[in-house]
Amino acid sequence: MRLRTDPGMPHRQAAPRAAQFFSRWRGAGDNKGTLMNDFNKSPEQLVDDAADTGRAYAKDAVNATGKKIDSVKSQLSQTTDALTKAIHDEPVKAVLITAVVSSVLTALVIAAIRGEDHYF
């Protein structure tokens, strides 16, 4: 059903037709009757509801970010502990691995500085 409005139709006649049009969505999904409730609200109430919804989404985003940061900190702490133990157990091997990795990174940086024509 498509809502058709007539420019000459008085407001009192348009409102019931709009209510009939939007009644299709009443009770649909998780927001039972939300659309009809919103239809009966004033513009100020709708703006307040939108602002509250925005604040709730922002709060959820901040909380999720905080949880992710805590997770990353925990993983970093575990990795640091494992590396510290490995260096303490085998210091010579750790120095050799560090030297090889440093050489490879230096070669990549030099290649990037020279340009795309020269790789090594």
| pLDDT, tens only, 34-84 | 555 667 777 888 888 888 899 999 999 999 999 999 999 999 999 999 999
Domain ranges of the chain: 10-40, 42-82, 90-120
Looking at every residue in the chain, the average pLDDT score rounds to 78
Q: Pick from 40, 43, 23: which is nearest to 32 by CA?
A: 23
Residue type, 72: V
Q: Is the dihedral of CA 62, 66, 67, 68 positive or negative?
A: positive
Mean pLDDT, residues 76-100 taken together: 94
pTM for the model stands at 0.44
Q: Would you state the pLDDT for residue 45?
A: 83
Q: Of 12-21, 68-77, 79-88, 104-113, give the lowest mean pLDDT range.
A: 12-21
**Per-residue pLDDT band at 106 (split at 50, 70, 90):** very high
Query: CA 120, CA 115: separation in Å to the nearest integer?
Result: 11
